[in-house]
Structure formats: structure tokens, C-alpha cells
């Protein structure tokens, strides 16, 4: 295979195809039919999470010795695309657990720590969440103010974490805390695993969101929370880089979710255009509608190439930060365009709940914000392109 081929071909394996077929079957039979009721009720998708656990997908890329399926990152991205196609809320719940909580543990934790936490997380006995954002530090994650002070064999944690997906239902939160305030922005930060039933942990608010309404988004208050020092993962004061690495992989996952949402809106638009008649012929016979659908097809396929190229680069051990940001920026903005145009194709029916494209559009918007906004992805891409020259901008 030539150098250019290795960059642009997508060599899915039999295992990858098996994962896609399995998840698609679950989505079509069980998850997608529940999407409307979950959106209306705001009910946490516990049933779907347990179904994913039964298929060994909650720990899809965790080594088997720690309770996972031992697959690769591409298999995880395939799962995210298929879940996004069926129910955005379920996809977000899944990636917060599998991508954001489990990943820092697999990167930083000792084998003994992995054996303590990963089997419960992989089996779905407990759900996980990721405590990075705070009321005053979202995009500027390095300016966090939550502190962890060593007290004998424990750390005492004080602070507030915000936008915590799964926060209300999680058994563990992998969180960042400032352990050495004397160090500057983005430094002196450690990673700790906090049992959510610890005294002093409270969910003080659950957000009422535009979309992804069945995923739990909580504000978590940590008031003198005592956590054993053995819950520190990685080195003290050096946990922040692993969280940033986690977000790089998370960007690919969110891009895959956006890809699935766009695919669903596109498929619904094709079906509607073939069935709906205007001016004595199917809607699909009008050139304007054909143009909409052609653009949808083209941009979805372009996004798919970017998403899976980034995923394969990650699995190959290659630097993938720029490619992850490109995939996220393009796929998520594409999803907003495709879902908006899907509403246009449906006309007035696209604006009502019955035809679901309005829900998909609402769900897609978060993808341009979470795991780093579109604007931050542009900054990351530009810095990779320009190098030192970007610092003058």
C-alpha cells in the first residue's frame, strides 16, 4: 500500500463490520424506537446502557483482563456512529461513560487500580462521568479552581463541576483538581477517581437542555469530600495532559455521533421526498430537493472519511490531534447543515415532533459545543498548521 493510499483508504476488518452489524441491529430494534419517548420524558437511557453492557460494548476498547472487549478505537467510533443514528441521548450517555470516564483510567491508572474500577464500569454495574468543566472554566479548562489538599492518607476536595454528563447517575467521577496552586495555568493539576456516594458529593442542578434531553447533564458540588490518596491516578500534579489526550479521542467520538445524526436525517429526507407529492409529482422529482439531498450525501461521505481517518491514525499510534479537530469541526458543522436542510425538505412537517428531524436537529447542536467548540477546533488546526507563527496571532 502506498503512502497516499494508507492515508485515505478505510481498511475495515471483519471485526469492525461485525460490530457495525451488531450495534445497528440493536439500534434498529431497541434503541431508535425509544428515542422519541426518551426525549419527551427526559428519562435516563438505563435500558440501552444495560443492553450495550450485555454486548460487552461499555468497555469496548478496554483490555479483556480488566473486563473489557479488547477491541480497537475504530470499533468504538463505529459504535458511536450507529448510536448517533438511532438516539443522540444514548450516544452521548455512552461516550461520557466509555470515552471520557474510562479513558483516563486506562491511560493513568495502575493495574491494581484498573482491576478495582474497570470491571464495574465495563459491566454496567456502575456508570462513569468526567469532571473537567467548571462554572468559570469550560473551554479554558486549565483555569479550573477545584482543589484537592492532601490530608494524611486522603485528599480533601472542594469545588464545583459543571456540564457533567451522567453526573446524576454515575458511580464514579474521574475529575481534575488543583493540587499545587503555586503552579501556573494548566499545571499542578491531578486526576482523582471520586466515588459519587462519598459524603459531601451532591448533584445541585440537572440542566434542562435544548436537545439530547434524555442524557443527564448535572452540576456537581464537592464540599470537603474525603477521597483516599490511592484514588489518585497518575502522578500528582501531572494529570492534566491525560485529560487533554482524552478530549482528543472524545472529539472523534462526538464527530462520529454527529455523523450518525446527519445520516439519520438524510435517510428520513430521502424517504419523505419519495413519498410526498407536490404539484402532481413526488417531492424527489423537484431539482431543489435533489440538490439538497445530493449535498447531504456528499458532505456526509466527506465527514465519514475525516472521522475514520482520525480514528485509524489514533489506533496506529500516530499523532492525531489535528485530524481529530478537523473531523470534529467538519462533521459537527455538517450535521447542523444537514439536519437543518432536512427540516426544509420536510417543510412544515419538519417543524413538528411527529417526523423527528426537529429532534435530530436539536440533538446535533451540542456536537458543535461539547468536547471543544468549533472555534477552538479552528484554533487547534491553525496552531498545528502554523506552528510557532500562530503564537503571534
* Gyration radius of the chain's alpha carbons: 21
CB neighbours (10 Å) of residue 273? 19
Q: Which of 117, 134, 109 is nearest to 190 (CA)?
A: 109
User: What is residue 189's DSSP assignment?
Assistant: E
CA 66, 69, 74, 76 dihedral sign is negative
Cα–Cα distance, 202 to 204 (Å, whole number): 6
Q: Which of 166, 9, 181, 23 is nearest to 100 (CA)?
A: 166
Q: Is 112 a catalytic residue?
A: no
Q: Which of 134, 323, 358, 371 is catalytic?
A: 371
Task: Provide the residue count of the chain.
Answer: 393
Cα–Cα distance, 67 to 64 (Å, whole number): 5
Cα–Cα distance, 103 to 76 (Å, whole number): 12
CB neighbours (10 Å) of residue 207? 16
**What does the block give as the cell for 306?**
475525516
By the 10 Å C-beta count (0-12 exposed, 13-18 middle, 19+ buried), 312 is classed as buried
Cα–Cα distance, 256 to 92 (Å, whole number): 11
Cα–Cα distance, 308 to 312 (Å, whole number): 6
The position carrying cell 472542594 is 158
Mapping DSSP to helix (H, G, I), strand (E, B) and coil, where does residue 176 land?
strand
Half-sphere exposure of 306 (CA within 13 A, CB side): 27
Tell me which residues are annotated as active site.
Answer: 371
Amino acid at each position: 500500500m502506498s503512502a497516499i493510499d494508507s492515508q485515505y483508504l478505510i481498511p475495515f476488518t471483519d471485526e469492525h463490520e461485525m460490530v457495525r452489524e451488531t450495534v445497528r441491529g440493536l439500534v434498529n430494534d431497541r434503541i431508535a424506537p425509544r428515542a422519541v419517548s426518551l426525549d419527551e420524558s427526559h428519562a435516563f437511557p438505563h435500558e440501552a446502557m444495560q443492553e450495550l453492557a450485555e454486548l460487552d460494548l461499555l468497555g469496548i476498547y478496554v483490555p479483556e483482563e480488566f473486563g473489557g472487549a479488547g477491541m480497537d478505537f475504530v470499533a468504538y467510533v463505529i459504535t458511536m456512529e450507529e448510536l448517533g443514528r438511532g438516539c443522540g441521548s444514548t450516544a452521548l450517555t455512552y461516550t461520557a461513560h466509555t470515552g471520557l470516564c474510562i479513558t483516563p483510567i486506562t491511560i493513568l491508572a495502575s493495574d491494581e487500580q484498573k482491576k478495582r474500577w474497570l470491571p464495574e464500569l465495563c459491566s454496567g454495574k456502575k456508570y462513569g462521568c468526567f469532571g473537567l468543566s467548571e462554572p468559570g472554566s469550560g473551554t479554558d479548562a486549565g483555569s479550573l479552581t477545584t482543589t484537592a489538599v492532601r490530608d494524611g492518607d486522603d485528599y480533601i476536595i472542594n469545588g464545583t463541576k459543571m456540564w457533567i454528563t451522567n453526573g446524576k447517575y454515575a458511580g464514579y467521577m474521574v475529575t481534575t483538581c488543583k493540587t499545587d496552586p503555586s503552579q501556573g495555568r494548566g499545571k499542578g493539576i491531578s486526576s482523582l477517581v471520586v466515588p459519587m456516594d462519598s459524603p459531601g458529593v451532591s448533584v445541585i442542578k440537572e440542566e434542562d437542555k435544548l436537545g439530547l434531553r434524555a442524557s443527564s447533564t448535572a452540576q456537581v458540588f464537592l464540599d470537603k469530600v474525603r477521597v483516599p490518596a490511592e484514588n489518585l491516578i497518575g502522578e500528582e500534579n501531572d494529570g492534566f495532559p491525560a485529560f487533554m489526550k482524552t478530549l482528543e479521542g472524545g472529539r472523534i467520538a462526538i464527530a462520529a455521533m454527529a455523523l450518525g445524526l446527519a445520516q439519520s436525517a438524510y435517510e428520513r429526507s430521502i424517504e419523505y421526498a419519495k413519498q410526498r407529492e407536490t404539484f402532481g409529482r413526488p417531492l424527489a422529482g423537484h431539482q431543489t430537493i435533489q440538490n439538497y439531498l445530493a449535498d447531504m450525501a456528499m458532505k456526509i461521505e466527506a465527514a465519514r472519511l475525516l472521522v475514520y481517518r482520525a480514528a485509524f491514525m489514533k489506533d496506529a499510534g500516530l499523532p492525531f490531534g489535528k485530524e481529530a479537530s478537523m473531523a470534529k469541526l467538519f462533521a459537527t458543522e455538517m450535521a447542523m447543515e444537514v439536519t437543518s436542510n432536512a427540516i426544509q425538505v420536510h417543510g412544515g412537517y419538519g417543524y413538528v415532533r411527529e417526523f423527528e428531524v426537529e429532534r435530530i436537529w436539536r440533538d446535533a447542536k451540542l456536537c458543535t459545543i461539547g468536547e471543544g467548540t468549533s472555534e477552538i477546533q479552528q484554533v487547534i488546526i491553525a496552531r498545528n498548521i502554523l506552528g510557532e507563527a500562530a503564537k503571534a496571532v
